[in-house]
Amino acid sequence: MVLFSVTKKATTPFDGQKPGTSGLRKKVTVFQQPHYLQNFVQSTFNALPADKVKGATIVVSGDGRYFSKDAVQIITKMAAANGVRRVWVGQNSLMSTPAVSAVIRERVGADGSKATGAFILTASHNPGGPTEDFGIKYNMENGGPAPESVTDKIFSNTTTITEYLIAEDLPDVDISVVGVTTFSGPEGPFDVDVFDSTIDDSKVNELHKNLRKMGDLICNCYDALHGVAGTYATRIFVEELGAAESSLLNCVPKEDFGGGHPDPNLTYAKELVDRMGLGKSSNAEPPEFGAAADGDADRNMILGKRFFVTPSDSVAIIAANAVQSIPYFSSGLKGVARSMPTSAALDVVAKNLNLKFFEVPTGWKFFGNLMDAGMCSICGEESFGTGSDHIREKDGIWAVLAWLSILAFKNKDNLGGDKLVTVEDIVRQHWGTYGRHYYTRYDYENVDAGAAKELMANLVSMQSSLSDVNKLIKEIRSDVSDVVAADEFEYKDPVDGSVSKHQGVRYLFGDGSRLVFRLSGTGSVGATIRVYIEQYEKDSSKTGRDSQDALAPLVDVALKLSKMQEYTGRSAPTVIT
Ligand code: G6P
Ligand code: ZN
């Protein structure tokens, strides 16, 4: 057995190691600075209770982006030096974020061990490669992202750190080969267990086992955008459900995502969008169902033939149909939740079905407490995240399986027949029953951080006089309703009582429409301003309009009210979703 020793390395703090909405994300070149990653990892170990480090089992893996392989070796050596007993690594360092959550919650090692946390190596939907982004975040024993109390502690540790521990003489482990390697250190044995995570998520496996063979409705176009979802898609859609190999697009994970932006939306999932008949060079005969995932496979985009399902509608439709269509929920839903900027489509379903409902700040970590307390079964965000209490992360593949289950249920009597109930039919029927929330989001990326702050401050200060706001709005457009309330969203967690302030500026209109402004917490350079625009239409005869037409008046109001161009110099958003 190879012996290793522990070295104490002197270090000094780096500025700006504050975890954002979902961990620390910076350019790879920032992470490559000597001690940079090490400082963050040691600060995390120091923020955890001793028994979650010494003798513990920790997962280390991610979406396989550039620098992951180096990071796995560094973290493994630091884990060994800090007295961790076992490190579990996905083969080739690949594990989707939802799979990490499932592995923490469910995997039992050959020796009966269970994991108490994970370092997830991903910058999610941000591009990868030597000049792009890397990221790291810590997930807790429940499988969910560390709460703010922990991330605040990590950050505070990064500002005072003076040394870290590392087993410099521990040899690199070959993470391309499945198996357990045992080393011996000053505190006893240390194992590195490399395994294939695509066969470990039993709840998702359960879901697809429940899907009957659905002929043409099988996920017949899946775009992994060269992220980690490709490994799971091959196994689940092709090997288990019988979809054709040709239905997989960009399903070979790449360190730089093939030079693309691994974000599943109408702008970046271009190939899928074309195949589904929604692009400029569109396919003449698009398939009935298509989907995409982001780099770490927690996000999803659902498309029908020439039809886009907004993420806000998607979670509402899944919630409305879950009990009948998805066996996991057959005994009922404990409750549902959405993030604040997500449209209120879910609220209407919750009200109609008499379900507990929660509105939380942006960031998946806020759903975890509700789920741990048995208060929420299904939740989602406008940012292409949908999930359930089977784990504590959003789950891109689960969302696809949930939709396929709904399609299977709606078509149970006529599978293979000519009266197929399509994705579009399901969405239009939903609007007919619950009304439609027309929805769009404008993103202004890489804006000067000072200008973005000023724009937000101005929106807050205007809230002190709604009559002035309404006067201004009437000058911009006379055809929008009045603002009846405006505030900065604040959330008191009903489980632990913690309060999160300044979670976005809201303007709420009399007809149920909303404008929301927020600064993104996931960018790595400058600031990103997000404008969320939503208009509610109850009248079922008016739910079939073109979305951009229906939203045009509110968009106009949003941009002029916020003085977007004046503050940012931008005449158009970087991305519209
Ligand atoms: C990550 C989080 C989500 C969040 C999203 C957008 O994906 O897991 O919960 O909605 O980032 O965050 P941002 O702060 O960029 O709007
Ligand atoms: Zn992601």
**pTM of the model as a whole:** 0.93
CATH code where residue 455 lies: 3.30.310.50
490 in Cβ contact with 473 (< 8 Å) = no
pLDDT at position 239 is 86
403 in Cβ contact with 302 (< 8 Å) = yes
State whether 113 and 177 are in the same domain.
Answer: yes
State whether 404 and 459 are in the same domain.
Answer: no
124 a catalytic residue = yes
| 216 within some domain | yes
Here the tokens at position 324 are 């009948």
Which of ligand 1's atoms lies nearest the C-alpha of 394?
8
State whether 158 and 236 are in the same domain.
Answer: no
State whether 195 and 295 are in the same domain.
Answer: no
What is the residue-level pLDDT of the chain in tens, covering all 577 positions?
889 999 999 999 999 999 987 899 999 999 999 999 999 999 999 999 999 999 999 999 999 999 999 999 999 999 999 999 999 999 999 999 999 999 999 999 988 999 999 999 999 999 999 999 999 999 999 999 998 889 999 999 999 999 999 999 999 999 999 999 999 999 999 999 999 988 766 666 666 666 655 666 677 899 999 999 999 999 888 888 888 899 999 999 999 999 999 999 998 999 999 999 998 776 678 999 999 999 999 999 999 999 999 999 999 999 999 999 998 899 999 999 999 999 999 999 999 999 999 999 998 889 999 999 999 999 999 999 999 999 999 999 999 999 999 998 998 877 666 688 999 999 999 999 999 999 999 999 999 999 999 999 999 999 999 899 899 899 898 889 999 999 999 999 999 998 999 999 999 999 999 999 999 977 667 899 999 999 998 888 888 888 999 999 999 999 999 999 999 998 899 988 8
> CB of 381 closer than 6 A to ligand 1?
yes
pLDDT at position 416 is 60
State whether 286 and 160 are in the same domain.
Answer: no
State whether 440 and 430 are in the same domain.
Answer: no
Whole-angstrom distance, CA of residue 4 vs CA of residue 192 = 14
CATH code where residue 148 lies: 3.40.120.10
Whole-angstrom distance, CA of residue 187 vs CA of residue 311 = 49
Domains identified in the chain, total number: 3
State whether 30 and 77 are in the same domain.
Answer: yes
| 389 within some domain | no
| 368 within some domain | no
State whether 113 and 19 are in the same domain.
Answer: yes
Looking up tokens 């009200």 gives 351
Looking up tokens 């390395």 gives 9
Reported residue count of the chain is 577
pLDDT at position 207 is 65
> CB of 530 closer than 6 A to ligand 1?
yes
pLDDT at position 155 is 97
State whether 40 and 9 are in the same domain.
Answer: yes
pLDDT at position 200 is 62
**In 384-542, which ranges are continuous DSSP H helix?**
396-410, 423-434, 449-462, 466-476
Residue finishing a domain among 434, 452, 485: 434
pLDDT at position 417 is 61
Q: 193 has which bridge partners?
A: 88, 180
| 386 within some domain | no
Q: What are phi and psi of 566, to 5 degrees?
A: -60, -45
State whether 140 and 10 are in the same domain.
Answer: yes
Q: How far is the CA of 473 from the centre of ligand 2 (A)?
A: 36
Residue span of the structural domain in which 471 resides: 436-576
User: Which amino acid is it at 512?
Assistant: G
Residue finishing a domain among 406, 434, 462: 434
Q: Which of 315, 505, 522, 529 is the best mutation target for the ligand 1 pocket, counting ligand atoms within 8 Å of the beta carbon and taking the most?
A: 522
State whether 329 and 444 are in the same domain.
Answer: no
| 485 within some domain | yes
Q: Which ligand is nearest to the CA of 98?
A: 2
State whether 425 and 455 are in the same domain.
Answer: no
Residue finishing a domain among 199, 219, 243: 199
> CB of 504 closer than 6 A to ligand 1?
no
